[in-house]
Structure 1
Amino acid sequence: MSFLSEFSRTEVGPKQAQLFNIWVRQHTLELFAELRANEPNFAVTAKGPIVVTRFRDVQEVLSRPTVFTVRGYAPKMDPSVGPYMLARDDTVLNQRDKSVMWTMLRREDLPNVRKMVADLADKAITAGLSQGRLEVVSNVSRKVILQMTGAYSGFPGPDIETMMRWSRATQNDMFHNFPQNDETVHQASVQAGAEMRAYLQELIPQRRAELEKNPELDDTLSRLLKTKFPDIVGFNEERIISNVMGLLVGAGETSSAAIVQSLDVLLDRPNEFNLAKQAAQDGNDELLSNIVWEALRFKPQAPFVVRICAEPYTIAAGSTRAVTVQPGMVVLASIASAMHDENELVHPNEFCTDRPDYHYMHLGYGHHRCLGDHISKVQVPEIMKRLLLRKGLRRSPDDLGRLDFKGGSFPEAFYVDMDS
């Protein structure tokens, strides 16, 4: 039975919303294909949310930050990391903090980022490999991303296990605790934020003292501390703490998911897997990057991003799919669906390695595109490369080789075998 048929036969109200959530989790691409064809801007209930599925309509929503706002994130983010740019739209805080942080995350760093990631990944794979078997999530994808984030940001944390807990707790609440708003999940994020803040409040004076002795220290926190911001700018130590915390929040689980989910797709596609292995062996980083992001298109990290409507607005005005959204309504802009829209992409159901970069929305779109997108474009394919360079890389047998979310929002376990 199709989703819309089953939906129409389901009792109006919470049961329909529950059915939608089940289909999102279990039949993601099939659901969105049906909605794009029949109900492109689909109302789950009369009061929303509105699910936007077409490429152009998703772009429209994400290009209008004062109409479709991120204010829904603030109640989760502010108690944890403090007022943060990601939960603000066209505001001074958003524009100032984003501008400052962009100057700190320099594109000139990318060759060093690639080398650092490669070294960390090689060590992590070797350390995690036991009798030819490797659990990728805990040993590689999470670990390397957070080691890299700690080193590059100058915020290494007390240990990798604590960094993993901080990352997971904050991302789970800020990006996945909707609409249930589980208070236990929220409090774990608040606690993680309090611990991060206390850690940085001790670290910053130590780093200032280190910079007095060695001004050449170079990481994001050191760059921020070496920069003299006039009082009128308003970028004080509190803003430094919040933004450095935000680097950890944004980097961890989404990047880990990108690595293991793209690998999961490739292991089901022998031709593309062999092409990726050859690209890794040839040092063809551009082709390998194209393969990784294309693989992720078939199993993206998130089905949609959440926005709150601030004023009456008609999406796709003048078309047969036009829908008017009222203030306060939730809009789910489906980046997963947009990346499969047959009205925009050529052969959307085929694996293509030459798609234009603007057809990918893994790193967001518009005003709130990922702050460190240029770093993600290097580190995710590079970690994949280090795995592909291992001889005999293959999925472990039986259930071990299946990507396991353990009932949660993030990949938790994924085993592969290799010869060395």
Structure 2
Amino acid sequence: MEETQGVQNAYLISENKTNSLNIIQPEEVEFHHPTTINCSFTVQEKRIILRTEVYWMIGDPRESYIYHPNPDYIHPDYRGKTRLVDGSNLLLEDFHGPDNTTFYCRVIIRRCLATERHPGLTVTILEDGAGTHLLVKGNTWYHAKILAVYVGLKAFLSLLLLIAAMMSRVLVLLMLCLWVRLHETSGHVCVDQPARTESIEGTSVTIPCQFSFPETKNSIESATFIVRASDENFCRGDDKIIYNSSIVFFSPKYQGRLNVTFDLRHRNASITINNVMQEDATQYCCRIELSFLDGKKRQWQTPDGTRLTVKDRNEPGLETIPLIFAAPGENVTLLGHFTSDNLTSASDVTCHVKRTADRGTGCDRGINIGECTYKNNALYFQINQVTSEDNAFYCYQVKMSTNNEEKNTYYYLGPQLLIIGG
């Protein structure tokens, strides 16, 4: 089978309003117990959307999450008091903050702009809503007038800033659109999966895959999901196939340990490896092959797949999130939670955060950017006023002793930080 050639994913970064994403939230809401703050958004060309994520942030500047899929990132005052309803609305069960506090709905989408001639191009867009002011019950008429003046001035200033920013970006956007139109053949086909993940011997690990294509499901005659495992680029070689949905093939190496889901309607799949072994450490590539009613066939996969690192079963485990999105100027916290019970007796713990430009560089060869904090069985490290230079992969170097044993050095994968905007 002829391999599809591709390029590394490229990210067009935008923090201003675009035609592809429009967020709507109310100007103000009066607080009750509980209160729901609505957030709706429209996305153009939904069939080429690879990823959609919704967060809620509070205050100016927006440094604290009031809702995040990972509760550890939520401000302590609101942890356990917020959740998403209907996919994007914020349910606020309790609030003790100041009057007129502003809540921002943040939406992140990753769109596929790839073509068969120029595959692999994606765009990640981060947008914040205009903000909703939470009015504490009992507001006076004076407070309402002050709020109206504030909102009016803020809207005017935001409009001026938007116009100035758009003037500098519109040329870039037009050039990108023109490039895509000139090189487009039959639409966008992408597969998206995490760059890397980590697991411990004897446990399970799941690798999610999302894919996009412009055609409707009704135009597809058949679809095949294939998983390859190899250290080579594109996981090359038919002998590297560990799963094929069309013939329900499982590699003998993974027989009884591999669970695969494939949902064409929702355009996603997942690979779960149970009872992980050291020899499972390699990269895993998700591949989609489509046959259409008009006789055409298309296929695509990520160039590099997901790199799996397998740690010794005796090493303490650390849970982190694989990807963090942020806007320029924000403060970003990297954190990881130890999962091993024997860490309750850990002592003399020292931790350093290292940065690498790519996922393949080992943590021991990364650039040391500072010392992190160990507290309550977790690691914390804050990067202030992030810029595009902070776009990188991060990892932890931890030295500690457990159960009165000698001090050992452990390396753990941290998140990839993606700064969107600027």
TM-score (norm 2): 0.22
Higher RCO structure (Cα 8 Å, ≥6 apart) = 1
TM-score (norm 1): 0.22
The structure where helix makes up a greater share of residues is: 1
Rg larger for: 2
